[in-house]
């Protein structure tokens, strides 16, 4: 699907300056289409988290170009005024640990992003319930995060990442704390959601178990990406 | 939008309630301290009001009779009585001392009052039980705060007194309850020497050849009699006739009698401005210390609670929460803590401190309002450290390495 999803061209990022400067990203090219889940793998220190932070608009790249859908968001400088609103409305985040807000119940954890976006409490909770239903944790809607199992927490976190139906979802090792069955379950959910909401999803992972499930994988090494097409990849 | 602060407080209510309780006790002590100061000022005013005097005539160049000792010849009152504008004149003595009843001892301000009727300066203006002093000797009217009852027999120095009347809220500016006795008795109590001393003085006087002259019979007796009588009082209270200016009269007495005279306003200035000034400064110090301690507690607990939420704050920022919303969450929690503390403190001060404290504690509503505002200001200021820490959190932290 041309014209949607994520485009990254020649993205660079260096930390610090002078002698101590670290060139974390040297030239990253990536394309993720709407409805597609791609894997991003690479050794430690290769720049995976740095790439997600650039894409997530929490750190500023040094050079290059990033496009979300039709809109250029970065072209040797930010092209969007309100990065906070960009994150809130157009990017979903899923972390290695669920990082739920401990003092909000499951429903309100998921309803928080739409509330922040200005939806009414009622509408936000309505949406949250739909997502919880889709992720099969609706029965825990009134529970507090601490009362959930690790897998349930992670599903709630995924619901929170998807609830605003962002065109882009960034997942940083979302399956790290899970056993292989649950890990595969999470990937299946991400694929379903990508299909349902036409979301472009990038999954950073080290996890051998889930690597075969991606149709496309980007390898990153020393700040440079290499694309690998799936050859009859394992069914999800 | 839901209230993040409210939800967090409900989630960690134990921490809030217990910290609020601790803070509340501190606030209670603070309010009581302010109440003690107000009580002292009020005691001083009540003392002056109840004395029924418009002018206090005291020994020259003293701040008597409450703040410094003052002694006047007892016949000082005679020339004053004749001055135009003077309605009534009465001598008084004041002496703070131990009053015993059986094995019990009470510190009281023993006040010697002249014979007369109600309305005589120095007399207690009203009684809650019993009657005023009618005999010239050995009767006492005491304040309820002494704990004595009608008919009790008191011992003041060597003499015994029967309690015939009771007053309420008649206290010295130091908060000691007042005990009224006849002037003559009070003069004796103030200037009375013990038997041993009297004997010794008599002997010394008798041995002095200039007093003990065989050719002047009766001289020695006269000298000894004058030595053992007590022609002094501490002050003369003056009531002014309607339509006369206290300032003017005071000035006249000062000029002609070579005495120091205070008007009601000056007396209040002496009591509040000088006598209880040290206590007021101490209380002021305590108020400052307690405020600093309260601020430290609020700052510490809010900071700790915030540090415990750094990760969540990073996540909130990452998913697009405004800095304003996060700051509001922290400040609201601090205000909630202050609110709990204030309620607990107000209850503590009203129900616990004021009734059992040995001094009069006057809790003025306006002080409570001031206290509440101060608590809120302190809470908001103390939470700023936590707010600063929260605003510094980098949303990138939520993504991790
Ligand atoms: N804030 C920073 N300041 C300086 N250098 C940094 C900073 N963050 C990352 N780096 C460096 O940038 C490079 C890429 O780091 P990054 O965190 O993106 O790696 P990663 O692929 O996520 O590694 P891992 O798999 O261990 O998480 C590393 O060499 C790292 O030391
Ligand atoms: Mg990383």
Domain ranges of chain B: 2-44+277-400, 60-192+230-258
What pairing do the DSSP bridges indicate for beta strands B178-182 and B260-263?
unpaired
Domain boundaries, chain A: 34-46+82-229
3-state per-residue secondary structure call for chain B: CCCHHHHHHHHCHHHHHHHHHHHHHHHHHHHHHHHHHHHHHHHHHHHHHHHCCCEEEECCCCCCCCCCCCCEEHHHHHHHHCCCCEEEEEEEEEEEEEEEECCEEEEEEEEEECCCCCCCCCCCCCCCEECCCCCCCCEEEEEHHHCCCCCCEEEECCEEEEEEEEECCCECCCCCEEEEEEHHHHHHHHHCCCHHHHHHHHHHHHHCCCCCCCCCCCHHHHHHHHHHCCCEECEEEEEECCCCCHHHHHHHHHHHHCCEEEEHHHHHHHHHHHHCHHHHHHHHHHHHHHHHHHHHHHHHHHHHHHHCCHHHHHHHHHCCCCHHHHHHHHHHHHHHHHHHHHHHHHHHHHHHHHHHCCCCCCCCHHHHHHHHHHHHHHHHHHHHHHHHHHHHCCCHHHHCC
Mean pLDDT of A90-119: 92
The whole-angstrom separation of Cα B286 and Cα B266 is 28
pLDDT along chain B (401 residues), means of 10: 92 91 92 90 90 93 89 87 91 92 92 88 92 92 94 91 94 90 89 76 83 80 74 90 92 88 94 86 90 89 91 92 94 94 94 86 91 93 94 88 68
Q: Which CATH class is domain A34-46+82-229?
A: alpha beta
Q: How far is the CA of B350 from the centre of ligand 2 (A)?
A: 59
Q: How far apart are CA B398 and CA B384, in angstroms?
A: 23
Give the strand pairing for A6-15 and B86-101: unpaired
- A119 — phi, psi (to 5°)? -75, 155
- Closest-CA residue of B relative to A88 is B320
Select from B3, B306, B320 the residue whose CB has the most chain A CBs within 10 Å, as the one to mutate to test that interface.
B320
Q: What's the gap between Cα B335 and its chain centre?
A: 33
Mutate to test the pocket of ligand 1, among A13, A22, A59, A96 (most ligand atoms within 8 A of CB): A22
Q: How many angstroms away from the CA of B26 is the closest CA of chain A?
A: 29
CA torsion through residues A144, A148, A150, A154, sign: negative
**Is there a contact between B176 and B109 (Cβ–Cβ < 8 Å)?**
yes
CA distance A29 to A51: 11
Instruction: Look up residue A195 and give its two tokens.
Output: 């299909």
Distance of CA B28 to CAs B41, B72, B345, Å? 20, 45, 4
Split at pLDDT 50, 70, 90, the class of A1 is: very low
| Predicted pLDDT of residue B229 | 67
Please tell me the number of the ligand nearest to residue A43's CA. Answer: 1
Closest CB from B2, B319, B395 relative to A121: B2
**Interchain CB distance below 8 Å, B320 and A103:** no
> What's the sign of the alpha-carbon dihedral A209, A214, A216, A222?
negative
Under DSSP, is residue A112 helix (H, G, I), strand (E, B) or coil? helix
Average pLDDT over residues A131-152: 92
Instruction: Give the residue whose CA is nearest to atom 4 of ligand 1.
Output: A15
Select from A88, A96, A101 the Cβ nearest to the Cβ of B320.
Answer: A88
A chain contacts of residue B328, beta-carbon cutoff 8 Å: none
Q: Which residues pair with B236 in a beta bridge?
A: B57, B91
**Amino acid B11: pLDDT:** 92
pLDDT at A211 over 50: yes
Omega before B65 within 30 of 0, i.e. cis: yes
Q: What is the 3-state secondary structure (H, E, C) of A28-41?
A: EEEEECCCCEEEEE
C-alpha distance across the termini of chain B, in Å: 31
Nearest to B238 by CA among B230, B246, B226, B248: B246
Residue in A164, A184, A170 with CA at minimum distance from that of residue A115: A164
Pocket of ligand 1 (CB under 6 A): A 15-16, 22, 24, 42, 44-50; B 401
pTM: 0.80
DSSP secondary-structure letter at A234? P
- Give the Cα separation of B275 and B272 in Å (integer): 6
Determine the Cα–Cα distance for residues B132 and B164; give it in Å rounded to an integer.
7
- pLDDT tops 60 at residue A236: no
Surrounding residues of ion ligand 2, Cβ less than 5 A: A 49; B 401
Q: Does A187 touch chain B (CB under 8 A)?
A: no
Q: Is A83 part of the contact surface with chain B (CB cutoff 8 Å)?
A: no
Q: Which of B197, B230, B267 is nearest to B45 (CA)?
A: B267
Tokens of B100: 């015993």
Q: How much is the pLDDT for A200? A: 94
Distance CA B351, CA B367 (A): 16
Statement: residue A97 has pLDDT above 90: no
Partnered with residue A226 across adjacent β-strands are A219
Q: Per-residue pLDDT for A235 more than 70?
A: no
Q: Which residue of B has its CA nearest to A161?
A: B319
């Amino acid at each position: 699907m041309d014209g949607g999803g994520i485009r990254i061209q020649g993205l660079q990022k260096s930390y610090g300056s002078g002698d101590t400067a670290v060139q974390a990203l040297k030239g990253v090219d990536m394309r993720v289409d709407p409805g597609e889940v791609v894997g991003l793998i690479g050794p430690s220190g290769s720049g995976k988290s740095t790439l997600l932070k650039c894409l997530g608009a929490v750190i500023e790249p040094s050079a290059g170009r990033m496009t979300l859908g039709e809109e250029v968001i970065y072209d040797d400088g930010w092209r969007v005024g309100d990065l906070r609103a960009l994150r809130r409305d157009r990017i979903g985040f899923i972390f290695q640990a669920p990082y739920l807000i401990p003092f909000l119940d499951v429903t309100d954890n998921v309803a928080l992003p739409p509330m922040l976006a200005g939806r009414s409490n009622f509408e936000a909770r309505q949406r949250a319930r739909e997502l919880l239903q889709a992720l099969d944790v609706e029965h825990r809607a009134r529970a507090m995060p601490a009362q959930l199992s690790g897998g349930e927490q992670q599903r709630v976190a995924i619901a929170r990442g998807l609830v605003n139906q962002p065109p882009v979802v960034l997942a940083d090792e979302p399956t790290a704390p899970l056993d292989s069955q649950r890990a595969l379950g999470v990937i299946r959910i991400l694929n379903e959601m990508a299909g349902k909401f036409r979301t472009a999803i990038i999954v950073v992972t080290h996890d051998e178990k889930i690597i075969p499930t991606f149709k496309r994988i980007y390898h990153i090494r020393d700040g440079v990406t290499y694309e690998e097409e799936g050859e009859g990849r394992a069914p999800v | 939008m839901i209230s993040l602060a409210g939800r967090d407080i409900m989630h960690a209510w134990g921490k809030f309630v217990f910290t609020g309780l601790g803070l509340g006790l501190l606030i209670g002590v603070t309010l009581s301290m302010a109440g003690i100061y107000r009580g002292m000022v009020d005691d001083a005013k009540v003392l002056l009001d109840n004395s029924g005097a418009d002018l206090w005539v005291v020994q020259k160049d003293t701040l008597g009779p409450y703040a410094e000792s003052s002694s006047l010849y007892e016949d000082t009152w005679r020339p004053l009585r004749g001055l135009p504008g003077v309605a009534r004149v009465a001598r008084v003595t004041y002496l703070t001392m131990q009053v015993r009843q059986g094995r019990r001892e009470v510190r009281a301000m023993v006040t010697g009052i002249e014979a007369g009727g109600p309305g005589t300066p120095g007399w207690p203006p009203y009684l809650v039980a019993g009657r005023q002093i009618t005999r010239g000797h050995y009767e006492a009217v005491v304040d309820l705060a002494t704990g004595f009852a009608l008919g009790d027999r008191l011992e003041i120095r060597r003499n015994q007194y029967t309690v015939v009347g009771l007053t309420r809220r008649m206290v010295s500016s130091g908060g000691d309850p007042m005990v009224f006795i006849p002037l003559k008795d009070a003069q004796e109590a103030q200037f009375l020497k013990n038997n041993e001393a009297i004997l010794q003085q008599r002997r010394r006087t008798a041995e002095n050849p200039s007093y003990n002259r065989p050719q002047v019979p009766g001289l020695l007796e006269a000298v000894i009699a004058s030595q053992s009588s007590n022609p002094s009082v501490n002050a003369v209270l003056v009531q002014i006739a309607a339509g006369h200016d206290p300032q003017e009269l005071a000035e006249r007495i000062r000029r002609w009698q070579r005495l120091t005279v205070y008007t009601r306003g000056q007396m209040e200035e002496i009591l509040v401005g000088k006598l209880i000034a040290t206590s007021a400064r101490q209380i002021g110090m305590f108020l400052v210390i307690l405020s600093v301690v309260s601020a430290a507690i609020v700052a510490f607990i809010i900071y700790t609670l915030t540090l415990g939420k750094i990760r969540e704050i990073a996540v909130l920022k990452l998913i697009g929460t405004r800095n304003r919303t996060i700051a509001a969450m922290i400040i609201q929690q601090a205000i909630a803590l202050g609110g709990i503390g204030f309620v607990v403190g107000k209850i503590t001060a009203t129900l616990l401190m004021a009734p059992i404290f040995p001094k009069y504690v006057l809790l003025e509503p306006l002080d409570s309002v001031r206290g509440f505002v101060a608590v809120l200001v302190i809470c908001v200021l103390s939470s700023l450290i936590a707010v600063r820490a929260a605003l510094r959190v980098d949303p990138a932290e939520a993504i991790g390495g």
